[in-house]
A and B are shown apart, each in its own frame.
Chain A
Amino acid sequence: MTDFQKYLTKNFDNPAALTLDGYVASGGYVALKKALGMQPVEIIDLVKAANLRGRGGAGFPAGVKWGFLAKTDGPKYLCVNADEGEPGTFKDGPLMEYDPHQLIEGVAIACFALGIHSAYIYIRGEFYNSIRAVERAVQDCYKKGVLGKGVLGTSFALDIAVHPGAGAYICGEETGLLSSLEGKKGMPKLKPPFPAVKGLWGCPTIVNNVETLACVPHIINVGADAWNALGCEKNGGTKLYCVSGHVVKPGYYELPHSTTLRQLIYDVCGGTKPGRTLKAVVPGGSSSPILLPEEIDVRMDFDSLGKIGTMLGSAAVIVMDDSVSMVRALHNLLHFYSHESCGQCTPCREGTHWLHVILERIVNGQGKIEDLDRIQDICGNMVGNTICVLADAAVLPTQSYIKKFRPEFEQYIRAGKRVSLLGGLIETVPVGAH
């Protein structure tokens, strides 16, 4: 797997590519030049044929999404979702920090294909280095005619601006992102209308993830067949996988889309630490249902993981070894979701809060067996009853942790003691706890 040819990360060890000249020297902006000579519809068809699936989490075919953009003579926009925040995910930051021009080239090609003349890159506020790198690259592009009134000497005009976020997971949801970009609280909006019809400032808008757009220049360069050959059926190209938790070599890895979870954990990341065994794996960010060790012979593509009841999501693999208390792990995640719920939908605001409160009680040794059924009941009132999927994102892991580790939850409750997240140590209950 080590001799695999890199596309998305090929410039990560080439700091010269941070500058426009260096990026051009590495073969950059060839794809944009080629695209500017194509018919827009040809580009969209090519991206469709390449089976580029949205890398933000949903895995929706990018070319199909582009096809939904409403026809209008008025303004329309492309917004890049660079608000990376799904726990376990750390791929879009490096893509911007180490190769900002790759993203800009992808944005420019997408805008040309869609007849868009204005794009905003919404970058998570904490990503100072990414914001700096992309802003510098954008300025460089304006100075040298890659952006502005005539892109690369053509009559196509394109403006790109960087917009920083300010710390809110919910802004990674595309309509929440648009609310935030409009200068409001990052509250998601009811769909339909979808952003492609009514998005930023009420205008047709496409929202794409950083990695999705970073793939586009390579698709133009190698063609749909070669891009498909890098992946597997209906999942074209290479994929950036993030691996964290209890493996020997955590990190982000660009690999064929056909890589299995076992290969990723054991061959690429060196497996669990010496003396430890695998207990559970989150395959696609904290919102994805958890997998057991016997379920990891699965291909890391959107469809294969979907078939076994979980999802690839943002391809963020969180590995847990046998030192982990699943009760404490779930408690940690529910703190996250209750903190990040934007609060506009009652089932999510109340549901995430009460799930966290119940887990807190269990963690502190004061849970009851009936709490496990109560949790199921709350979950049932959350899913599908809200504007966005944050509620579902809290429910899916909750249900899967309890389903797959129910005996451990029951044992924890019966023991009635506070046990540490790692190593099974008995802790004192903090003062002021329930």
Chain B
Amino acid sequence: MSLIHEQLRAKFNIVLSRYPVDQKQSAVIPLLHLLQEDLGGHITLEGQREVADFLGIPVAKVHEVVTFYTMLSEKPRGKNHLLVCRTLPCALSGCESVINAIHTKLNVKPGEVTLDGKFSYEEVECLAQCHLGPVLQVRDQVHGNLTPESAIQLIDKLGK
């Protein structure tokens, strides 16, 4: 059975309509975002093959995009994937203690998923919310002015 089911295919076609008919490859990033969301957080090799076939391009061209961009992942992620900023403005605001607290609380390394499948986290570069530092982002939610305590409270809330 195809990973690009009927509903997803309809979304793919809307995206594709934004680009010239002879420039289908341009749609690869938006399509991969849609597929990754549909697959629950990561893109399998089979998924990459199907996107390549859909666009009529070699799978290598899809694979190099998946591996180049940090938001796209071949590895499974937790239901809540925490992007924790580590760059200078957040560091000046004390993100290191927040990252340590998250690490201790979740008891996994960056990029690993907790046993219950609920969480994973990674340290990322500037999320462009520097006035709110320390900052972390979960999907479309930005959480700012974090302390070690508030970060743990957030994890408890998301885990419920």
Report if A313 contacts B (CB, 8 A): no
Query: With a CB–CB cut-off of 8 A, which chain A residues contact B130?
Result: 87-90, 242, 244-245, 250, 316, 318
Interface size class of B (residues with CB under 8 A): 35 or more
Residues of chain B in range 68-115 having any CB-CB distance to chain A below 8 Å = 68-72, 83, 86-89, 91-94, 96
Docked Cα-Cα span, A9 to B7, in Å, equals 39
Bound-state Cα–Cα, A399 to B144, Å: 32
Interface string of A311-344 (1 = CB under 8 A from B): 0000010101000100001001101100110000
Q: Quick one: which of A85, A167, A336 has the most chain B CB within 10 A?
A: A167
State whether A85 and B88 are in contact (beta carbons under 8 Å apart), knowing that A180-B29, A184-B61, A422-B94 are contacts in the complex.
no
A165→B69 contact, CB < 8 A: yes
| Contact yes or no, B96 A88, CB < 8 A | no
Q: Which of A36-44, A54-62, A123-131 contacts B (4 or more CB under 8 A)?
A: A123-131
Instruction: Give 1 or 0 for each of B126-137: 1 = CB within 8 Å of chain A CB.
Output: 111111010001
What are the residues of chain B within 8 A of A114 when measuring CB–CB? none
**Are B125 and A169 in contact, CB atoms less than 8 angstroms apart?**
yes
Which residue in A127, A183, A336 is a CB contact (below 8 Å) of B125? Answer: A336
Compute how far the CA of A181 lies from the CA of B18 in the bound complex, rounded to whole angstroms. 12
Whether B61 and A168, one on each chain, are in contact in the complex, defined by CB atoms closer than 8 angstroms, is: no
Taken together as a complex, chains A and B put the C-alpha atoms of A127 and B33 apart, in Å, by: 13
Interchain CA distance A125-B55 in the complex, whole Å? 21
A247 nearest in chain B by CB position: B131
Identify the closest chain B residue to A316 (Cβ).
B130
Contacts of B18 in A (CB 8 A): 161, 163
| CB of A301 within 8 Å of the partner chain | no
Q: Which residue on B lies nearest to A163, using beta carbons?
A: B30
B151 beta carbon closer than 8 Å to chain A: no
Residue B146 interfacial (CB < 8 Å): no
Residue A166 CB within 8 A of the other chain: yes
Across-interface contacts of B30 in A (CB, < 8 A): 163-164
Q: Kindly identify, within residues 47 to 76 of chain B, every residue whose CB is under 8 Å from any CB belonging to chain A.
A: 55, 57, 61, 64-65, 68-72
- A interface residue numbers (CB < 8 A to B): 75, 84-90, 92-93, 124-129, 132, 161, 163-169, 180-186, 201, 242-246, 250-252, 282, 286, 316, 318, 320, 324, 329, 332-333, 335-336, 339-340, 420-422
A-B contact pairs, 9 of them (CB 8 A): A84-B128, A126-B71, A126-B137, A182-B25, A184-B25, A316-B130, A320-B92, A332-B86, A420-B96
